[in-house]
Structure 1
Amino acid sequence: MVHHDQEVLAWLLDSDPAIRWQVMHDLLEAPDAACAAERARIETEGWGARLLSLQDADGQWAGGAFVPAGFTREEWKTSGQPWTATCYSLNMLREFGLDPKSESAQRTIALVGQNCHWDEGGQPFWHGETEECINGRTVADGAYFGADISGIVARLLGEQQPDGGWNCERANGSACSSFASTLNVLEGLLAYEQATGGTAAVSAARRSGEAYLLQRHLYRRLSTGQTADERFLALLHPSRWRYDILRALDYFRAASLFSGSAPDPRLGEAIEHLRSKRRSDGKWAPDWSLPGRIWFPLDDGIGHPSRWITLRAMRVLQWWDAARPS
């Protein structure tokens, strides 16, 4: 560790249970019992308890699956996409690490299955939506919390593009993949494999999606080698459906730990860019933020150090450096 890491770790631990238990587990390798005890506090304290308290009586958030009840296209145009409905609230609870076996989690998943229907099509929530990005995150949530999302997984396997990835614009005629859609689906498929053991078809699809991103070094155009989108190199949290290299690196870390494989050297450019974003105090800060309705902020905003981004960056670099010693 560099000289300021101990101070950064203390700063991370002086936080919410959702941060603390992951620091203990991912960075400090604390005993399982201690990690579990800290994780259990998410249900009753801090961000997790606060988000659960905002849940509707029928198990939804804000009265809708993808957008809040009564939300209008005009508000989307003027204020941005909202992030308070059920799907994004479940994303947050999964990211916090709410114990799937907890009473709150079990109750929520059952009620969402009974009462929540997608805005597009009206199908039950755990049957999936129509877009690959949304369905990838729904698979991740369902797999994590124990819902049956096997039907969505089968659909995603049938929607993979010839180049190996996925694209939400496929239904509109797109024949090539996108970075964001591909990562959303990959996260879902990995969660499905972690929860169920997966199948050979799921593993093969995930490897093809990973190859799509690795061939592009996580952020470059395959055709020219140029940066595909400058925002891929800009750090963001919460990511929602958006793509950046830290989110991609965190996925590849999780996939590597799951499979027992070494980090792919093609991640190296993104790793070095991530190192370059570290502040002199050893922390990382968001470069931008998404507009739109939120329940509550999770950090202090652009230009201020973010515990979420710092946690994710440190665990990625710790994994990379341990596996690829200099």
Structure 2
Amino acid sequence: MKRPTLIDVGIEAGVSAITVSRALREPEKVSESLRERIAKAIDKLGYVPNPAASSLASNRSSIIGVLVPSFSNYVFADVLSGANSVIEKTGYSIQIGNTGYDPLTEEAMIRKFVSLSPVGLIIAGVDQTETSRNMLETVDCPVVQIMDSTDDPVDVIVGFSNFEAAAASAQHMVDQGYRRIAFVGTRMDPRTQQRMAGFESVMRQHQIYDPALFITTPQKSSVEIGRHLLAGLLDKVPDCDGVFCNNDDVAVGIGLECQRRNLSVPKDFGICGFNDLGTTSQMNPAITSVYTPRVEIGERAAQYILDRAAGGPQPDIRNIDLGFTLKKRASTLRSEAI
């Protein structure tokens, strides 16, 4: 049986093949009644767009590439959810790549995506290799870096300052009377390193910096690793009275280990997480965490690509900082517990 074509759909709907193509690729440019008529024709004929043919005709695929370092990290699941909510009702589709926090894997994936002539690219972070950066700067499509902040993006960046978010968290703990505060970090990717730097800047500012209070591991984050890291920390530095964690999994694990050791939180020990994924607010006591606008970041990144694809200009402000919110909860409100 012959596969139906755009021409067949146009005949069924009483419009030209060009109009059908426009309705599929840029539905906002076609009236609602016409979109409905074309949709009924597509359903009746069982038409499925041929992306290869479309790409050849326009010298551009319908793909928006998204490169993230992890599929299992809830942070990037939220970003993808936001991007998809913007893209799903258009004629474009998202293709996702997992770099596994490896710069060379990221480089290979960028090369693969560029070869597909994408509509746009969304990529986590600003720490690309020189080769990756060169490819991103020369690709003929909009590029959005996300979850970070820089004055020198490839095209535009949508995110927040990890440094400032960590510094605000550290300052809050100092304000609450904590003085022997540790930084506990896993994976140690560039965003975590920026958080560590922000934390360290506040410790030095208040002259309470102690290298023994910096506990890091290349292992990925988990509740279990949080428990183990706190146990090791307290064996090494028994007078530690608080921790700033690079993410919420670790903070929850530390909270559970405090319960096991009968450490009173926040009176004897303070805990602050990062990303505010939901688990921290459900702990008892609830754990302070930095809320990051992950879904909105995905939405803004995707919308920028759609706007550019429709012929819109590059914005005057290329560093789109959506900020962060320190969700102050019982785990650090020592002044209220005393």
TM-score range, shorter chain: under 0.3
RCO comparison, higher one (Cα < 8 Å, 6+): 2
Name which one, 1 or 2, has greater alpha-carbon Rg.
2
Q: Which has the higher strand share?
A: 2
Q: Which has the higher helix share?
A: 1
What TM-score results when the alignment is normalised by the length of structure 2?
Answer: 0.26
What TM-score results when the alignment is normalised by the length of structure 1?
Answer: 0.26
